[in-house]
Amino acid sequence: MKLITAIIRPKQLPKVKEALFTAGVRGITLSKVSGHGGQGGMVEQYRGTQYVVEFHEKVRISIAVSEEFVEPTIDAIVQSARTGKVGDGKIFVQPLERVIRIRTGEEDTEALTPVAS
Amino acid sequence: MKLITAIIRPKQLPKVKEALFTAGVRGITLSKVSGHGGQGGMVEQYRGTQYVVEFHEKVRISIAVSEEFVEPTIDAIVQSARTGKVGDGKIFVQPLERVIRIRTGEEDTEALTPVAS
Amino acid sequence: MKLITAIIRPKQLPKVKEALFTAGVRGITLSKVSGHGGQGGMVEQYRGTQYVVEFHEKVRISIAVSEEFVEPTIDAIVQSARTGKVGDGKIFVQPLERVIRIRTGEEDTEALTPVAS
Amino acid sequence: MKFKRIVGVFLFVLFSTALAQTDAEKLAGLEYSLNTISLLFFAVLVVFMQPGFALLEAGLHSGKNVINIFMKNILDFAIAGIAFWAIGFSIMYAAPLFINGYSAASFPGTADFFFQMVFAATAATIVSGAIGGRMKFSAYLIFSVIITGFIYPYLGSWKWGGGWLEQMGFQDFAGSAIVHAVGGFAALGAVLAIGPRIGRYSGKKVNAMPGHNMALAGIGVFLLWIGWFGFNGGSQLAFASKDDALAIGNIFVNTNLAASAGAITALLASWVLFKKPDFSMTINGILAGLVAITAGCDVIIGPWAILTGAIGGIIVVFSVPLLDRLKIDDPVGAIPVHGIVGLWGTIAVGVFGGANLGVQILGAFAYAIPALLSGYIVFSILKMTIGLRVSPEEELLGLDLAEHGTEGYLMDDPLRDPIILNPKAV
Amino acid sequence: MKFKRIVGVFLFVLFSTALAQTDAEKLAGLEYSLNTISLLFFAVLVVFMQPGFALLEAGLHSGKNVINIFMKNILDFAIAGIAFWAIGFSIMYAAPLFINGYSAASFPGTADFFFQMVFAATAATIVSGAIGGRMKFSAYLIFSVIITGFIYPYLGSWKWGGGWLEQMGFQDFAGSAIVHAVGGFAALGAVLAIGPRIGRYSGKKVNAMPGHNMALAGIGVFLLWIGWFGFNGGSQLAFASKDDALAIGNIFVNTNLAASAGAITALLASWVLFKKPDFSMTINGILAGLVAITAGCDVIIGPWAILTGAIGGIIVVFSVPLLDRLKIDDPVGAIPVHGIVGLWGTIAVGVFGGANLGVQILGAFAYAIPALLSGYIVFSILKMTIGLRVSPEEELLGLDLAEHGTEGYLMDDPLRDPIILNPKAV
Amino acid sequence: MKFKRIVGVFLFVLFSTALAQTDAEKLAGLEYSLNTISLLFFAVLVVFMQPGFALLEAGLHSGKNVINIFMKNILDFAIAGIAFWAIGFSIMYAAPLFINGYSAASFPGTADFFFQMVFAATAATIVSGAIGGRMKFSAYLIFSVIITGFIYPYLGSWKWGGGWLEQMGFQDFAGSAIVHAVGGFAALGAVLAIGPRIGRYSGKKVNAMPGHNMALAGIGVFLLWIGWFGFNGGSQLAFASKDDALAIGNIFVNTNLAASAGAITALLASWVLFKKPDFSMTINGILAGLVAITAGCDVIIGPWAILTGAIGGIIVVFSVPLLDRLKIDDPVGAIPVHGIVGLWGTIAVGVFGGANLGVQILGAFAYAIPALLSGYIVFSILKMTIGLRVSPEEELLGLDLAEHGTEGYLMDDPLRDPIILNPKAV
Ligand SMILES: Nc1ncnc2c1ncn2[C@@H]1O[C@H](COP(=O)(O)OP(=O)(O)O)[C@@H](O)[C@H]1O
Ligand SMILES: Nc1ncnc2c1ncn2[C@@H]1O[C@H](COP(=O)(O)OP(=O)(O)O)[C@@H](O)[C@H]1O
Ligand SMILES: Nc1ncnc2c1ncn2[C@@H]1O[C@H](COP(=O)(O)OP(=O)(O)O)[C@@H](O)[C@H]1O
């Protein structure tokens, strides 16, 4: 199993969600992060003073997947999150040793399949 | 050492904190995340239009532990976070190569024991 | 490649950013987290009732680096984030198997060099 | 000649008299209209107390209940507007139903009604903050009808309707007892019937549940302070003479001195007791100063007004933790501010204002006890019938979502975007 | 002796007459000044509707547009203050430009102007919420000049300027048609010209775009309710007699009954339709009650005022989803509340208030249709010239940043700290 | 017969005269009461400036200082209510202490005091925003006592107390110099004594520290605009004659024209200078227009009022960055708006209003310089004694927590839940 973490533009999120869903990925966890990289800052002003807001709002998507889902997941994200302009973000792939579903105690691959309520 | 990451229901957080404390786990880092999985959405309405809020507020708990704490930590979380309804969350276990305590420069296991101020 | 995650005091963030920049680290992702450890709580009061706010606002810095940057990055963080008082935070080092730059599809080390726009 | 002259004089006199007669009518018309316009403007000032209370309560409650608080404060005013018109005014002043054909001496019956209606709405709205965060919206609506249509008018009739307390010489100029103690003790009855919010008390421990927005509370208290000039000033009910003007000038100054003193003593008392100058205590202190002077703002003058307000401010700072020790959960301090200080203000007229002390004490409790009982009984009946309290899940979720299906605050948040993984959920 | 006595009488009479004459002057002065002071105070109450609208609109829009909404609401009031002074008043009342030397009978021309100016500003400001979130700020400024300087004054002259509708006996006491229907239908024209916000409608689906802060909307509606007492009460335009006082007392009560009824019926209708008592519908219902009674607040009495307001409240709850089905995106409900209910209020004077029903219907549409057309045409011309709408990127970013370069809300956030990795960006 | 007739005439005359006499008394009573009621209502409008300032300042400061700002704005009003009553009024108008037995000619002494007291509170409250975010709460409280009890009354006595500037023919109708320049220059003295907020200036670089909530600032400026009608209108101090009515009508229109013009020029100037129509500059521009016209609102008419306000609006847009270059950290613009434009407004009466230009300039500086010095000296003494500034840690933490132990905003946040890992911390 892998833990795939993607940093994407907030505006691309709806497309990414759709692509992931189409790729069969159902369980995801999102959080708001602040990204700093090659992307230029945004100029704001207040009472006559200009300042550069150099952070960018990004969304982090964390997805635990079994091996066979690694490639489809990465593909889905790359295709749906890409705009071609600097700041599109990164995908990180990390080893994941165990997954436990709290509700049932199921482990690993069984723990990864969401059950619709 | 392992990095244990749990996604839980916000409402269970007090119980989970207590269970972790009882299990001897003192250092934790929390963050707010948004979870999407098998849990059904919540219907809200505004000016006569209904809409489904499909994300769920969740809390992510990150805990770095030495090997002997892995099982007790997982057990503590599973037992305290479980409600039995879809949406209870997941626990992820990842390898952790190094831990450094910034204040002292201590590494690994020494870095993991909190010092009460 | 490694994923370096540091939990630091929000107040130290400007210094840490500067140190990282000086060390040649350009791409970082930040998020707000809530830390619990050895640091004592803050007493607040409301309508005559005192209560302890026991969580502490912390900032989590996530940095994906290639091997040769691991030590300089850790050093930069430790030196700039340290105040010497309990609560300075921790650094976690985890293995990172792949990195993909969404914009270009570049992988791994190439994906890690930010391109100024 | 002489005759002509006399006739001339006579005609002249007649003419000047005729003119004088028209003038006398005009004069009477002016008096009448100055009385009316003044009363209506004072009434409009009192209406500012409605957003004042709404904001104060919203600020001191959790953000997940903000819609519910505004809904209650809007609806109790709307309900007062109809129920006090249909029936309440008639009970209170032995007037016809629907103020149908009712007229007053020095201003229109409609203006009289409008001024009294905003007082009824105030008594009702005092309750809403105390039971906030846990009561069913439907139960609150029914209670609003009952208090503005029946409880407040009936109790009010004892004094302002010329009833037995009026006969005894009881003094309550603008309603420390009739409005504030009634509202505050009805709130106590309501809180006893509904119980504390979940998690407020655990064993002997009092858990602070801090309000979500002190800026809202701050605006609220300013609007209340402003509105109170209408509340106390307007209660003079006559404006078109020098004596009335002198009285109203006095009322304004006494009212403001008491409010200022209440603010300052509550500030200092909280500073001493809790080591910090406390915000929510200070704003409660202002209101305490105002409630305290309300009954005697016409006769408790200058330094005595300061003293009356100052004591009010101190009472509040000591009452709030006391109520908590008794596990009476009043998130906004309505019971200390309006109830307990309402009693003090009523009694103060006997202490500093020359009224009969015994009668004042009697009158104070004659309002507090029935208000407490009727609040308790009405809410207990509601509890047994339609139910009084939302479910624990709804309470934790917040009344905005649970009762009204909408969130009070929504910041632009990409994570909320509605495109959906789970197709069944759509 | 006799002569002396007669002379004495004469002198006495003369003296008393002289005194009476001075008194008559004083009396006239008092009447004049009471009229003036009252009119100005009513006008100040109407000014409270400006922050009222700003808050209502800000609350029901997204947080990324809050500065833009305040800017529009501030500037349209500032522009009305200049444009209606320079030209508008002269068009509406055939008065000199710049109210230069203009005088009225029973109060100063300046006071007359000031009262009428705040009405012009109200008509203008109604539009701002409906087109919020997508219009260029510059386009809105130009429109503000045109509506307060020309459209509203010209249409208003038909009735309040003594024009053809006045001649026909059309009745619109405080402006259900002249102010509200004009504002509401100009808003409809504007919305038709600019189109819905991005993402509001996808195919047949209506996507809710919830407002960001219901507390702001709640304060706003209270300020509007309060301001309306000035709007309707002040429209009596004469205050210094018993008859006027009686009229104003009536107006206050009718206004409040209609507002209360509108709140209650909108609440109940939303409860039935959407299963929950809806907040934004209820506050729209209050405004609907107020708009409905505005035309006939002098003649639609008591129960009929309740009925008029109640119908207004129901109209709104049904109109909002209807407009959405037509893909007319009006985030605050300005079109139903001011436009549609403005028609109803105007017609209601024929139904409940004894006016000629045919003339009322004619007058209602005589205001609605030109307002709709002029709104649509002005904005279409702006679209073809300077452009009407911000770019999609700017709309998504929010008008605060895109148009004004500043964010409306900034919480202390360590992640925003300006020390910078990328030196080029500095 | 003849005799009878004459007697009849005589009696008739006597009777009519007697009636006239009663009427004359009634008339005098009406005049007196109309004066009183008007003055008090104008005063209440001025009280709206207190929440106005509180909201403006709260909005333009950081969210971690919101409680502190409300506390200061509440307490300076409470302190003014007591200190100006106890001593200030007596210094300013050579009246007895505690307004004990003080009476005025055409309205009660109490009403006179109340109106003047709200002016004193305004002068005091101007300072609070400029020194926000860093001053010890205790130091501010002491300063409030000194400015409302001594500085403002003493300076005010020079003109409104009939002192030397009044003798010289200096004109300042409602206080551009006496209230606003005094407040603004005292604020400058205070800022010079306390220094800028941490991180505001680094070397030559000016770091923007944006305010946290523009909606609050927006409501604030509307309340200030509204309150100013009381400030300027009420300063006529007599209302019960046609001449007064004419004057007040004029004052309203001039005040509103200047405010509108200030808004528009500040908007345009910021648009040109900073490329975007700036919100906080525009609202400062409104206030600048209002401050500018305050001294001459009675004599600077129509187009000249527009010009006076327009220049005020431009002054502000240029002064704000200038002060920043001088490292004078005034987060809300109190010094430009009230100080610099206060000078301009005072001088404008000499330029456009027919007053002696030399005397106006003299008077303007006769207020500005002592105010600056006394602000600087009082705060320097406080600095040397009890300390003026919170510690850097407290400043960074925010004054709400550091000084008052409570947070201003608390959103429901599961991460804050109080169940605790560290048992010692409980
Ligand atoms: N080495 C890194 N470690 C962690 N996060 C990174 C790293 N590099 C980039 N990021 C994240 O990815 C986002 C996009 O990177 P950026 O360099 O701006 O553009 P691009 O990926 O298109 O080259 C950044 O805002 C940051 O959040
Ligand atoms: N594969 C996954 N990767 C990352 N997070 C997941 C994954 N599956 C579930 N989650 C997280 O766990 C939460 C609970 O999962 P869900 O499927 O709703 O219920 P359950 O765990 O009870 O089956 C989700 O809201 C999401 O935050
Ligand atoms: N074992 C752990 N796992 C995850 N986070 C931890 C752990 N220990 C500490 N932390 C994080 O580091 C922060 C600082 O730790 P603390 O024990 O308070 O001080 P110090 O690191 O100086 O000993 C905590 O607030 C928490 O966010």
Q: What are the pLDDT digits (tens) for E9-35? A: 555 555 555 555 688 899 999 999 999
Name residues whose C-beta falls within 8 Å of residue D41's C-beta, 6 or more positions apart in sequence: D230, E41, F37, F41
- Give the model's confidence band at A112: pLDDT under 50 very low, under 70 low, under 90 confident, else very high: confident
Q: C91 CA distance to ligand 3 centroid (A)?
A: 9
- Quick check: F140 and F78 in contact, CB under 8 A? no
Q: C29 CA distance to ligand 1 centroid (A)?
A: 7
Kindly tell me if the per-residue pLDDT of F10 is higher than 60: no
pLDDT value of residue D411: 81
The helix, strand and coil proportions of chain F, stated in percent and rounded to the nearest 5, come to 75, 0, 25
Mean of pLDDT values over D128-151: 98
Please give the share of chain F, as a percent, with pLDDT higher than 70: 92
Using DSSP, state whether D255 is helix, strand or coil.
helix
pLDDT value of residue C101: 96
Mean of pLDDT values over B88-94: 96
- Taking the CA of residue A10 and the nearest CA in chain D, the distance in Å comes to 6
Kindly tell me if the per-residue pLDDT of E310 is higher than 50: yes
What pairing do the DSSP bridges indicate for beta strands C28-36 and C56-65?
antiparallel
Question: Closest residue (by CA) to atom 20 of ligand 3?
Answer: C87
Kindly tell me if the per-residue pLDDT of E425 is higher than 80: no
pLDDT value of residue C54: 81
Kindly tell me if the per-residue pLDDT of F239 is higher than 90: yes
Interface check for D410 against chain A (CB to CB < 8 A): the answer is no
Average pLDDT of chain A is 91
pLDDT value of residue F20: 58
pLDDT value of residue D24: 87
Length in residues, chain D: 426
pLDDT value of residue E283: 98
Please give the share of chain A, as a percent, with pLDDT higher than 90: 73
Q: What are the pLDDT digits (tens) for E143-194? A: 999 999 999 999 999 999 999 999 999 999 999 999 999 999 999 999 999 9
pLDDT value of residue F422: 40
Mean of pLDDT values over F356-380: 98
Facing residue for D420 by CB, picked from B34, B45, B54: B54
What is the distance between the alpha carbons of residues D34 and E36, in angstroms, rounded to a whole number? 12
What is the distance between the alpha carbons of residues F306 and F297, in angstroms, rounded to a whole number? 11
Which of B5-9, D16-20, E323-327 has the least mean pLDDT?
D16-20
pTM (global) more than 0.90: yes
What pairing do the DSSP bridges indicate for beta strands A98-101 and A49-53?
unpaired
Which of C38-47, D32-41, E378-387, F197-206 has the least mean pLDDT?
C38-47
* Residue B11 near ligand 2, beta carbon < 6 Å: no
pLDDT value of residue C52: 87
Burial class (CB in 10 A: 0-12, 13-18, 19+), E302: middle
User: How many CA within 13 A on the CB side of residue F240?
Assistant: 22
Nearest alpha-carbon partner for B46 in E37, F204, E279: E279
Alpha helices (runs of H) in chain A, residue ranges in sequence order: 13-22, 70-81, 108-112
Tokens of B48: 């006569």
Mean of pLDDT values over B25-48: 90
Classify residue B10 by its DSSP letter: G
Using DSSP, state whether C6 is helix, strand or coil.
strand
Tokens of D101: 């054909």
What is the distance between the alpha carbons of residues E357 and E171, in angstroms, rounded to a whole number? 10
Kindly tell me if the per-residue pLDDT of E421 is higher than 50: no
- Quick check: F297 and F42 in contact, CB under 8 A? no
What is the distance between the alpha carbons of residues F218 and F350, in angstroms, rounded to a whole number? 33
pLDDT value of residue B66: 94
Average pLDDT of chain D is 93
Using DSSP, state whether E212 is helix, strand or coil.
coil
pLDDT value of residue D21: 60
What is the distance between the alpha carbons of residues D88 and D97, in angstroms, rounded to a whole number? 8
Structure-model confidence comparison of residues A8 and E424, the more confident one: A8
pLDDT value of residue E3: 52
* Residue C114 near ligand 1, beta carbon < 6 Å: yes
What is the distance between the alpha carbons of residues D198 and D220, in angstroms, rounded to a whole number? 26
What is the distance between the alpha carbons of residues E53 and E332, in angstroms, rounded to a whole number? 10
- Quick check: B103 and C86 in contact, CB under 8 A? yes
Please give the share of chain E, as a percent, with pLDDT higher than 70: 92
Average pLDDT of chain B is 91
Tokens of F382: 């406080």
Which of A48-57, A73-82, B77-86 has the least mean pLDDT?
A48-57
What is the distance between the alpha carbons of residues C15 and C13, in angstroms, rounded to a whole number? 5
| CATH number of this structure's domain C2-112, picked from the four choices 3.40.50.1220, 3.30.70.120, 1.10.150.530, 3.20.20.140 | 3.30.70.120
Using DSSP, state whether D389 is helix, strand or coil.
strand
* Residue C62 near ligand 1, beta carbon < 6 Å: yes
Q: What are the pLDDT digits (tens) for E53-110? A: 999 999 999 999 999 999 999 999 999 999 999 999 999 999 999 999 999 999 999 9
- Quick check: E252 and D108 in contact, CB under 8 A? no
Dihedrals φ, ψ of E214, to 5°?
A: -75, -20
What is the distance between the alpha carbons of residues D62 and D197, in angstroms, rounded to a whole number? 11
**Could you tell me which chain C residue has the CA closest to the CA of A85?**
C103
pLDDT value of residue F419: 46
What is the distance between the alpha carbons of residues D165 and E353, in angstroms, rounded to a whole number? 43
Length in residues, chain C: 117
pLDDT value of residue C109: 83
- The DSSP code sequence of D26-61 is HHHHHHHHHHHHHHHHHHHHHHTHHHHHHHHHHHHS
* Ligand 2, atom nearest to B34 Cα: 27
* Residue A61 near ligand 1, beta carbon < 6 Å: no
What is the distance between the alpha carbons of residues A33 and A59, in angstroms, rounded to a whole number? 6
Q: C103 CA distance to ligand 1 centroid (A)?
A: 10
pLDDT value of residue F1: 46
Alpha helices (runs of H) in E240-340, residue ranges in sequence order: 242-274, 279-294, 303-325, 334
DSSP H or E segment with residue D357: helix D357-384
DSSP collapsed to 3 states, A13-44 = HHHHHHHHHHCCCCCEEEEEEEEECCCCCEEE
Structure-model confidence comparison of residues F350 and E6, the more confident one: F350
Tokens of F172: 């300042």
- Taking the CA of residue D405 and the nearest CA in chain E, the distance in Å comes to 6
Structure-model confidence comparison of residues D109 and A115, the more confident one: D109
CB atoms within 10 A of CB F102: 17
Rounded to the nearest 10 degrees, how much is the dihedral formed by the CA atoms of D224, D230, D231, D233?
Answer: 130
Tokens of D194: 């509904």
CB atoms within 10 A of CB C95: 13
- Give the model's confidence band at E388: pLDDT under 50 very low, under 70 low, under 90 confident, else very high: very high
Mean of pLDDT values over F196-223: 95
Q: Which residue has the tokens 């308790």?
A: D376
Kindly tell me if the per-residue pLDDT of E319 is higher than 70: yes
Contact D407 E276 (CB under 8 A): no
pLDDT value of residue D11: 52
Contact F419 B18 (CB under 8 A): yes
Using DSSP, state whether B43 is helix, strand or coil.
strand
Using DSSP, state whether F210 is helix, strand or coil.
coil
pLDDT value of residue F167: 98
Residue B27 CA: which ligand is closest?
3
pLDDT value of residue D421: 41
- Taking the CA of residue F274 and the nearest CA in chain A, the distance in Å comes to 6
Q: What are the pLDDT digits (tens) for F45-86? A: 999 999 999 999 999 999 999 999 999 999 999 999 999 999
pLDDT value of residue D203: 87
What pairing do the DSSP bridges indicate for beta strands C49-53 and C56-65?
unpaired
What is the distance between the alpha carbons of residues D77 and D84, in angstroms, rounded to a whole number? 10
pLDDT value of residue B41: 82
pLDDT value of residue F417: 61
Domain ranges of chain C: 2-112
b (16+ CB within 10 A) / e for E186-217: bbbbbbebbbbbeebbeeeebebbbbbbbbbb
* Residue A111 near ligand 2, beta carbon < 6 Å: no
What is the distance between the alpha carbons of residues E168 and E162, in angstroms, rounded to a whole number? 10
- How distant is the alpha carbon of residue A71 from its chain centre? 15
Q: How far apart are the first and last CA of chain B?
A: 25
Alpha helices (runs of H) in F275-356, residue ranges in sequence order: 279-294, 303-325, 334, 341-351
Kindly tell me if the per-residue pLDDT of F424 is higher than 70: no
